[in-house]
Copies of this chain bind each other. A is one copy, B any other.
Amino acid sequence: MRIAIVAPPVVPVPPPAYGGTERVLDVLARGLVAAGHEVVLFCTGDSSCPVPRAWVYEEALGVGAPGPVPELRQALAAYEAVQDCDVVHDHTLVGPLYADRFPWLAVVTTNHGPFDGELGPIYRVISQRVPVIAISHHQAKTAKGVQLAGVVHHGLDLDQFPVGRGEGGYALFLGRMHPDKGVHLAVRIARRAGVPLKIAAKMQEPLERAYFEAEVAPLLGGSVEYVGEVGGADKLALLGGASCLLNPIQWAEPFGMVMIEALASGTPVVATPMGSAPEIVEPGVTGFLGSSEEELVAGVRRAAALDRAACRRRAEERFSAERMVEDHLRIYRRVLAERRRDLFGAGEDAGEAMESQVPSAAGEVSSDRAGGGARAS
């Protein structure tokens, strides 16, 4: 199959630091190529994912880029570049609406955010033409009125995650410095459990800094340490050395990437049972779920005794890149078949008739379709 993956123009693929969506797209694109498919990744020119790429923006614009122009320009250029693909997997918001112009294209999208709030009405409209992939069953349940293509849990390139021995003698918080993530609760829980805590957290936005100053900094000291924002080898070492990941989230996070990264490192997860957590953590096997501080304290105490090999095994069984790729391919094939049926079931050779209408509006697409030699033969 020839598959286009369209990324938003805000963060390179893979991301140099923060960027959950772009990290998943990197794993997916490489995994599809490894599975023998042709891929074109429409991203930004500063991306380094080793697959054939195309772009209109030389540099990623950053998450706060103002106004609708960046996504419009990205979508217009992307749909010009992907007309020869069998399936378009579009991760922008504007693109799936613009796809109305190309009825011969099989298009599917993924909602990486919550369906409540502002995204709900948008995905309801998008899904009238483009089916939407959910990233957890919990998220899917909140997708009222949205036509879903299915649920696909994220996966990891497990080779990048060495299994650690958990001998550091600390619990780990890893994520954004945000009240939704419950950093202040993690401190209280670790102290009550009598377990040292290392906090590795992104802290750049004003809200993140304000939360840190008001709610977290006063609790630091002794066995509780803020180690900054970590990535790469440092992050893997922190994960592998932790007795558990302590993830007392306070919102229904659609998918908690950090939890499967912990499992891949052999590290059990102690979390509140919100959002995707109950789909990731198997209590007593790969961690513990707790709704109260008491339960979470007990979970942290008991987690060190869990079998780390079992955590890694579950990650291999349920959260590998290969499984994520297979799940997507199944959906791609179905969306492609449905699109062909819609077009040709109408008794017209719609594909032929319509392809002549492809606009060449942007005419400014750059590409590295050689993909650094990584393109599947």
Inter-chain contact B68/A93, CB cutoff 8 Å:
yes
Inter-chain contact B93/A72, CB cutoff 8 Å:
yes
Inter-chain contact B361/A76, CB cutoff 8 Å:
no
Inter-chain contact B68/A71, CB cutoff 8 Å:
yes
Out of B71, B98, B145, B364, name the residue touching A67 (CB < 8 Å).
Answer: B71
A233 within 8 A of B: no
A124 within 8 A of B: yes
A345 within 8 A of B: no
Inter-chain contact B121/A363, CB cutoff 8 Å:
yes
Out of B65, B68, B121, name the residue touching A364 (CB < 8 Å).
Answer: B121
Nearest B-chain residue to A10, judged by Cβ? B67
Out of B73, B101, B119, B128, name the residue touching A121 (CB < 8 Å).
Answer: B73
Chain B residues near A98 (CB, 8 Å)?
Answer: 97, 125
Inter-chain contact B361/A124, CB cutoff 8 Å:
yes
Bound-complex Cα distance A361 to B69 (A) = 23
Bound-complex Cα distance A377 to B169 (A) = 78
Chain A residues numbered 103-161 whose CB sits less than 8 Å from any CB in chain B: 118-119, 121-122, 124-125, 128, 145
Residue picked from A65, A71, A94, A121, most chain B C-beta under 10 Å: A121
Chain B residues near A68 (CB, 8 Å)?
Answer: 67-68, 70-72, 92-94
A66 within 8 A of B: yes
Chain B residues near A373 (CB, 8 Å)?
Answer: none
A84 within 8 A of B: no
A206 within 8 A of B: no
In the complex, which range does the number of interface residues on chain A fall in? 20 to 34
Bound-complex Cα distance A289 to B69 (A) = 34
Chain B residues near A69 (CB, 8 Å)?
Answer: 93, 118-119, 122
> A127 to nearest B CB, angstroms?
9
Bound-complex Cα distance A76 to B364 (A) = 29
> A137 to nearest B CB, angstroms?
23
Bound-complex Cα distance A94 to B69 (A) = 9
A285 within 8 A of B: no
* Contact A76-B121, Cβ < 8 Å, known A64-B66, A93-B68, A100-B100: yes
Q: List 21 A-B contacts (CB under 8 A).
A: A63-B66, A64-B67, A65-B66, A65-B67, A67-B71, A68-B68, A68-B70, A68-B72, A68-B94, A69-B93, A72-B97, A72-B122, A76-B122, A94-B97, A100-B100, A100-B101, A101-B125, A101-B128, A121-B362, A121-B364, A125-B362
Residues of A within 8 A of B (CB): 63-73, 76-77, 92-94, 97-98, 100-101, 118-119, 121-122, 124-125, 128, 145, 359, 361-364
Q: A68-B72, A121-B363 are in contact. List 12 more A-B contacts (CB 8 A).
A: A64-B67, A65-B66, A68-B68, A68-B71, A69-B119, A72-B122, A73-B121, A73-B122, A94-B94, A97-B97, A121-B361, A125-B359
